Homo-oligomer: A and B are copies of this chain.
Amino acid sequence: MPLNNTNIVSAAQTKFGKLEGITIREMFAEAVDKATVEAGIPKKDIQAAFIGTFIPEMLIHQGHTAPLLIDYAGLRGLPATRHEAACASGATALRAGIMAIESGLYDTVLVAGAEKMTSVSTNKVTEALAAAADDEFESSIGLTFPGVFAIAAVAHMQKYGTTEEDMARVAVKAHYNASTNPLAQFQKEITLEKALTPRYIAWPLKLFDCSPISDGAAAIVLTSNEKAKEYTDLPVKIIGTGQASASMDLCNRIELTSFESSVKASKIAYEMAKLGPEDMDFAVVHDCFTIAEIIASEDIGFFKPGEGAKAVREGITARDGDKPINPMGGLKAVGHPVGATGVKQAVVIYKELIGEAGKNQVPKYDTALMHNFGGTGATCVVNIMRRADA
């Protein structure tokens, strides 16, 4: 059965980037204020909070982040839980929010995510991020995330003929889209030549194939059908949600050119929504690396296996193409404060679906898919959203 009671009625993010002098609680409170009081939703209406953070323990020696963050955001006392699934932390918090509403336990809840990553060295960040892979079998022997996605890229190149230039085109598109997004970390177009600059991070992935280290927060308010009317005439309904897992270690995967968790989560979400890829006007997918966007575009069924690169080359995934992907700029150019990312993806879809994406508005915007991916793909969450009047 499709979900039928969960509505997004407001959504906001902070600027993403190196936010010097701003703590995680300050970023979080800014996103919450924008998504509540500044959107006409009194904080007293919020009954519970579901928070995504990935690894504040290692980055800022802070666990138990949910009560800490909501206290600073003026919501002390509420039930507040932290959800962690590496880069999919935000989307797992969102799913908890969906279940909270659908269960009838709560009418109106906050879903938010945040990460403060730039206050420690890059080495320290790399070590922290590596905790999202299998420490016992893989990350402890030196496989960090650029290496993981380099392996996927090589497999995709070998099997389908995808090229470094194809991946570079994903970066060019991301920077182009982000150039008109005032909240993006990089608001500057890049040329294909620049994207191909041979500064290898893990061959064949170069600097411009990688999403950056970022600070940032995002927040949305979910509410029931009955309550939604109090806040907006134009809610966005979440009509399908799927989550799946896979082995953490790559050595136990059958396939490296596709992520089984993405395929499975998409299938569940489409079935729940009783819709297919052909019904999606656009998608926001997890482009932590350029190859990840290409693979995701195939895994969610927008293109056949091996045809994701061609779709980029032909402009099909461009903002004005037939199947726009990451129309605001994605993780690649907007930034990737890990715990915030899954929630930020919902923010992007909300803005697009209600027609308030400004210069980044896609041409068709009734129904869209979000795809948030954790670590090596051991977690994937896919949600399908549709404007209530569509």
- Copies assembled: 2
* A65, A78, A103, A132 pick with most chain B CB within 10 angstroms: A103
Contact with B along A51-70 (1 / 0, CB 8 A): 00011011011111111101
Is residue A228 contacting chain B, with contact meaning CB distance below 8 A? no
Residues of B within 8 A of A265 (CB): 79
CB atoms of A105 and B99 under 8 A apart: yes
Is A379 in contact with chain B by the CB < 8 A criterion? yes
| Contact (Cβ within 8 A) A64 B105 | no
Q: How far is the CA of A82 from the CA of B66 in the complex (A)?
A: 14
Partner of A68, one of B25, B71, B92, B378: B378
B86 x A64 contact (CB < 8 A): yes
How far, in Å, is A105 (CB) from chain B's closest CB?
6
**Partner among B54, B57, B104 whose Cβ is within 8 Å of the Cβ of A58:** B57
A244-B131 contact given A63-B84, A64-B86, CB 8 Å threshold:
no
Which residue of chain B has its CB nearest to the CB of A101? B103
Partner of A83, one of B65, B83, B132: B83
A8 within 8 A of partner (CB): no
Q: Say which residue of B61, B99, B244 sits within 8 Å of A77 (CB atoms).
A: B244
* Given known A71-B245, A100-B99, contact A92–B86 (CB-CB < 8 A): no
* A136 interfacial contact with B, CB 8 Å: yes
Docked pose: A247 CA to B1 CA in angstroms: 40
On whether A66 and B379 interact (CB within 8 A), knowing A77-B260, A81-B83, A260-B77, the answer reads: yes
Closest to A58 in B: B57
- In the complex, A102→B104 CA distance in Å? 8
Q: Does A85 contact B (CB under 8 A)?
A: yes
- A312 interface contact, C-beta 8 A: no
The answer to whether A86 and B63 have CB atoms under 8 Å apart is yes
- Total interface residues on A, using CB and 8 Å? 68
Residue A374 interfacial (CB < 8 Å): yes
Chain B residues contacting A245 (CB-CB under 8 Å) are 66-67, 70-71, 76-80
Q: Which residues of B contact A234 (CB under 8 A)?
A: none
Q: Is A95 in the interface zone, CB < 8 Å from B? A: yes
A179 at the interface (CB under 8 A from B): no
Which of A60, A95, A105, A134: most chain B CB closer than 10 A? A105
Q: Which of B66, B102, B264 contacts A105 (CB 8 A)?
A: B102
Q: Which residue on chain B has the smallest CB distance to residue A102? A: B103
**A246 CB within 8 Å of chain B:** yes
A96 in the interface (beta carbon within 8 A):
yes
- The residues in A between 111 and 157 inclusive whose CB is less than 8 angstroms from any CB of B are 127-128, 130-136, 139-140
A57-B55, A103-B102, A105-B99 known; A78 vs B244 contact (CB < 8 Å): yes
Q: Give the shortest distance, in Å, between A286 (CB) and chain B (any CB).
A: 14
Contacts of A130 in B (CB 8 A): 61
Closest-CB distance, A131 to chain B (whole angstroms) = 4
- Check A248 for interface membership: any CB of B closer than 8 A: yes
Excluding A64-B131, A99-B100, 6 further A-B contacts by CB distance (< 8 Å) are: A64-B374, A67-B378, A71-B252, A81-B83, A81-B95, A102-B105
A-side residues, CB < 8 A to B, are 1, 23, 25, 48, 54-55, 57-58, 60-68, 70-71, 76-86, 92, 95-96, 98-100, 102-105, 127-128, 130-136, 139-140, 241-248, 252, 260-261, 264-265, 374-375, 378-379
